[in-house]
Amino acid sequence: MTFDATILTLYPDMFPGPLGLSLSGDALSRGVWSLEARNIRDHGLGRHKNVDDTPAGGGVGMVLRCDVLAAAIDASVPADDPRPKLLMSPRGKPLTQARVRELAAGPGIVIVCGRFEGVDERVIEGRGLEEVSIGDYVLSGGEMAAMVVLDACVRLLPGVMGKEASGQEESFETNRLEYPHYTRPREWEGRPIPDVLLGGNHATIEKWRRAESDRITRERRPDLLER
Ligand code: SAH
């Protein structure tokens, strides 16, 4: 079973982009997942293939038309397609590792990338789009946000990461930030690797890591501990 991603964008050439390299790129060429980037402009109106118009009620910028976007969705996604349809949006529910896990366990995703001031509200309702944000800042378009969602999902697909286990112990899987990592050399610019990590006592190492993880989470993200 593969994980199939369909992206609706005004800039299909941005894909696969960075997703074509490294872990996700290897998995893409091995057929673990598939990626199809469709151009919204193919459904644009008139000789100039217009996709946007001025906001009703006035104001700056342009808004993606609902009829154009719906035509693009309908042409790429059959009505009985089981995949969740996401709209990248700063107004959306912030993406979490828990939602990423759910998405990665499913058949794939359809992602609509906004541009300009955003999209006409009616297509969000009419096509049941789930608005998802990747953080409290504003990007110029949804493409990079879509890549973030895809990268987070693809690395969880079976056989993508070297060790399956490496997905389990990481930040956010346990509502804890990860403990610090070290590797050779043993001492660097006067900074040694903590002795406990070199002692070979796995129980003590485990205890130290848990304590460090708690300390870092308390200092940086106390909100995680309350979840
Ligand atoms: N006027 C909008 C911002 C539009 S930014 C507002 O104030 O909310 C243009 C597009 O970039 C959006 O439609 C969305 O698809 C994408 N985008 C911008 N910031 C994002 C974020 N934090 N998460 C997900 N998508 C984002």
**Ligand 1 pocket residue status of 64, Cβ below 6 Å:** no
Task: Tell how far the Cα of 116 is from the centroid of ligand 1, in angstroms.
Answer: 8
Query: Hey, what are 97's tokens?
Result: 């590792």
For residue 162, is it within any domain?
no
20, 91: one domain: yes
Q: Look at residue 109 and tell me if it is in a domain.
A: yes
Specify if 161 maps to a domain: no
For residue 95, being part of any structural domain is answered with: yes
The answer to whether 161 and 23 are in contact (CB under 8 A) is yes
**Cα of 139 from ligand 1 centre, angstroms:** 5
Do 113 and 19 share a structural domain?
A: yes
160 lines ligand 1 (CB under 6 A): no
Shared domain check, 193 and 144? no
- Out of 154, 181, 205, pick the residue that ends a domain: 154
State if residue 115 touches ligand 1 by the CB under 6 angstroms criterion: yes
CATH assignment of the domain containing 61: 3.40.1280.10
7 with 89, same domain: the answer is yes
98 and 191 housed in the same domain: no
**CB contact at 8 A, 115 and 144:** no
Domain end point (choices 116, 131, 154): 154
End position of a domain, from candidates 98, 128, 154: 154
> Do 148 and 49 share a structural domain?
yes
Q: What is the pLDDT of residue 12?
A: 98
Residues 65 and 142 in one domain: yes
Smallest CA separation from ligand 1 atom 2, residue:
117
Cα separations in angstroms, 68 against 21, 111, 151, 154: 32, 16, 28, 29
Q: Is the CB of 114 under 6 A from ligand 1?
A: yes
- Rounded CA separation 15/204 (Å): 46
First to last CA, the chain: 33
Q: Which domain holds residue 186?
A: 169-225
- Does 164 fall in a domain? no
Regarding whether 74 and 20 lie in a shared domain, the answer is yes
CA distances in angstroms from 70 to 89, 129, 136, listed in the order given:
17, 11, 27
Instruction: Walk along the chain (227 residues) and give the pLDDT tens digit of each residue.
Output: 899 999 999 999 999 999 999 999 999 999 999 999 999 999 999 999 999 999 999 999 999 999 999 999 999 999 999 999 999 999 999 999 999 999 999 999 999 999 999 999 999 999 999 999 999 999 999 999 999 999 999 999 999 997 754 566 688 888 999 999 999 999 999 999 999 999 999 999 999 999 999 999 999 999 999 88
Q: What is the CATH number of the domain that holds 183?
A: 1.10.1270.20
**Assigned domain for 102 exists:** yes
Distances (CA, A) of 181 to 57, 90, 169, 194, 215: 54, 33, 13, 10, 15
Is 138 close to ligand 1, i.e. is its CB under 6 Å away? yes
Q: Is residue 163 a part of any domain in this protein?
A: no
Whether 132 maps to a domain, the answer reads yes
Phi-psi domain of 59 (left: phi exceeds 0; alpha: psi -120 through 50; beta: other): left
Examine the domain organization and report whether 129 and 219 are in the same domain: no
Query: Looking at ligand 1, which residue's alpha carbon is closest to its atom 3?
Result: 117
In a shared domain, residues 27 and 55:
yes
Using DSSP's 3-state secondary structure scheme, residue 87 falls into strand
Q: How many angstroms separate the CA atoms of 70 and 64, rounded?
A: 10
> Do residue 188 and residue 81 come from a single domain?
no
pTM, rounded to two decimals: 0.96
**124 and 184, same domain (yes or no):** no
Where is 149: in which H helix or E strand?
helix 143-154
pLDDT at position 168 is 66
Distance CA 10, CA 14 (A): 9
CA nearest 69: which of 107, 104, 115, 25? 115
Structurally, the chain folds into a number of domains equal to 2
